[in-house]
Structure 1
Amino acid sequence: MPGSRSKRRIAAALTAALTASMVSATAAPALAYSGSGAASYADQYALHPNTPSYPVFGGDCTNFVSQAAHLGGGYPFRGAYTNGSSDKVWWSSGSGPTSSTFSWSNSWAAADGYYRFLLADQPGGHPGGTAPGSSTDYWTPDSEATGDVLFYDWGQGEGVSHAAMQVGYGTEPSSPAWKGNYVDYHTTNRYHAFWSLKPYNANWATTTIYFVHIDAAN
């Protein structure tokens, strides 16, 4: 009957539309990494570490940035709980308040390891150039965004040994105040510090800063 044929046509059209929608959703990858989420986490724990969920290391900068990228930004573990000495994996396990109840990959807690991990991972991070520690420019490169990571080589022969997270733009709280992009970091714990760290860094004349943009598809 005409009514039955009409119902079959409607059902067929709905099935086709649903199938097309599912194919489209599968074909378009979700943008998982949230730079704003990572920055919010960094702001929350810049001056007050997330204990006892995580221990606080003597050099806590990369542990802090890794937490922000993972818990706040949603960057997933890679190679979880395997070969912690490899910079191709990135993970942590356990809880604080001491490192004896916590385990981690080298890339989770060491700045040079995290730098190498982000550049090797896929889609990972993308290098955005360098700047000197003497920089007083307001802005980091255009490739840098909220939730991206800055790495610092103090020029003392140790290579990359510090990490910070870019969290916004405005007037940071030192005296005299500096205006521009700012970062959060640990050891020393700072909230909204001017991105080149010149106001705080005794080695600013020899420092090189490496910018890494974290791909939103992570």
Structure 2
Amino acid sequence: MDWKKAFQKHLHMLGDFWVDGLDVYQLPFSDDEQKRLQNKKRDLLDQNAEIVRSLIQARKIHVEDKREDLVINYCLHSQWLIKKDGDFYLEERLEDRQGVFRENHLAADKLVPILPVQEPVTGRDTADEGSLSARSRKYDRLQAVRYADLWWNRRNPQYPKVSDDCTNFISQCLHAGGISMWGDPIRNRGWWQQQTNWSFSWTVANSLRWYLSRQGSIIGAVEKSSADQLVPGDVICYDFEGDGHWNHNTMVTAMDPSGSPLVNAHTYDACHRSWTYTDSPAWTKKIEYKFFHILDSV
């Protein structure tokens, strides 16, 4: 029972870090993770924003009793009420984590890594979609955002299940907005999914990024120069290392009080997260972004 008290104390201390200014070095995190937490605080400070309330909870706790250590696998649910420009918004985050207790003392707490989706040989769609430019469609961005808010912290069994789920989730949101699939059963053509098969553009971040750039594609996206040109229902792509290989995708689901996009995402599930991702474990100073506005009709 003593480890449970120590675990609850740890969660309370994490909440105190966000609101009361507890020193991050008092938390049993790695140097990289301490830096990540500090990046989020710094990003908020730069925006003249602050976390005024936090609720930190552990879910899905699984205990492994080993010879010397007690290993706790759990899901950390963080909720932050953020004040900015005299208004408020709520950000939520889920992270699968692993804590290691030694003699009822929490010796370490780390993020569980998620394996990336297997990349295709080529990330770009080479099929001719010229005829699609004449095919009309309407995009209901309200339905896309509703889907993103409904499913941000769970998985829809009607779609493929993959470990690195970020792009699969964004594709689902776009499909919920009324965009039809095209290209099956060829995996490097179009944008589509079936329960046991799907295009690379449906599940692979790099492939979707290039498909969004494709003129006349079934999705119908237009690249914008900055995040402030986006509206809810649009898509942001991330190249964390700045090496030309795109790693992540999010959907804009709201705007903060200053008009900056807030995004929903899977893999490390998030709702109304700051679009910049400066507190991501994958973030680097070389990060590149692509901003795509999804046309309401084509």
Give the SS at the match of 1:103: coil
- The number of equivalent residue pairs is 162
Provide runs of 4+ in structure 1 moved above 6 Å: none
Partner of residue 74, structure 1: 178
In 2, Cα distance between equivalents of 1:31 and 1:54: 22
TM-score computed with the length of structure 2 as normaliser: 0.50
Q: CA deviation at 1:203?
A: 2.0
Q: Equivalent pairs: percent with the same residue?
A: 28
Supply the AA of the counterpart residue of 2:192. Answer: W
In 2, Cα distance between equivalents of 1:60 and 1:159: 17
Supply the AA of the counterpart residue of 1:161. Answer: N
Match of 2:223 among 107, 113, 127: 127
In 2, Cα distance between equivalents of 1:113 and 1:76: 18
Partner of residue 290, structure 2: 210
Q: CA deviation at 1:212?
A: 0.7
Partner of residue 33, structure 2: none
- Where structure 1 has 5 or more consecutive residues not aligned to the other structure, the ranges are 1-28, 95-101, 131-139, 172-177
**Contact 1:37 1:73 (C-alpha < 8 Å) held by counterparts:** yes
In 2, Cα distance between equivalents of 1:121 and 1:76: 16
1:43-192 → structure 2 map (5 Å cutoff)? 43-50=149-156, 52-70=157-175, 72-79=176-183, 81-86=184-189, 89-94=190-195, 102-122=196-216, 124-129=220-225, 140-142=227-229, 144-155=230-241, 157=243, 159-170=245-256, 180-192=260-272
In 2, Cα distance between equivalents of 1:63 and 1:202: 19
Give the SS at the match of 1:205: coil
Partner of residue 199, structure 1: 279
Q: CA deviation at 1:69?
A: 0.3
Q: CA deviation at 1:170?
A: 2.8
Cα RMSD (Å): 2.3
In 1, Cα distance between equivalents of 2:154 and 2:262: 18
**Contact 2:264 2:270 (C-alpha < 8 Å) held by counterparts:** yes
Q: In proportion to residue count, which structure has more strand?
A: 2
In 2, Cα distance between equivalents of 1:53 and 1:158: 32
Give the SS at the match of 2:264: strand
In 2, Cα distance between equivalents of 1:37 and 1:153: 27
**Contact 1:35 1:145 (C-alpha < 8 Å) held by counterparts:** no
The Cα offsets for residues 165-201 of structure 1, whole Å up to 9 and x where unpaired, read as 0001137xxxxxx984200001111111101111334
The Cα offsets for residues 4-57 of structure 1, whole Å up to 9 and x where unpaired, read as xxxxxxxxxxxxxxxxxxxxxxxxx9761011111110111111111x212331
Highest RCO, 1 vs 2 (Cα 8 Å, sep ≥ 6): 1
**Contact 2:254 2:261 (C-alpha < 8 Å) held by counterparts:** yes
Q: Aligned in 2, Cα 1:202/1:92: closer, same or farther, shift over 3 Å?
A: closer
Supply the AA of the counterpart residue of 1:125. Answer: A
Partner of residue 111, structure 2: none
- Where structure 2 has 5 or more consecutive residues not aligned to the other structure, the ranges are 1-134
In 2, Cα distance between equivalents of 1:83 and 1:153: 26
TM-score computed with the length of structure 1 as normaliser: 0.67
Supply the AA of the counterpart residue of 1:206. Answer: K
In 1, Cα distance between equivalents of 2:270 and 2:244: 22
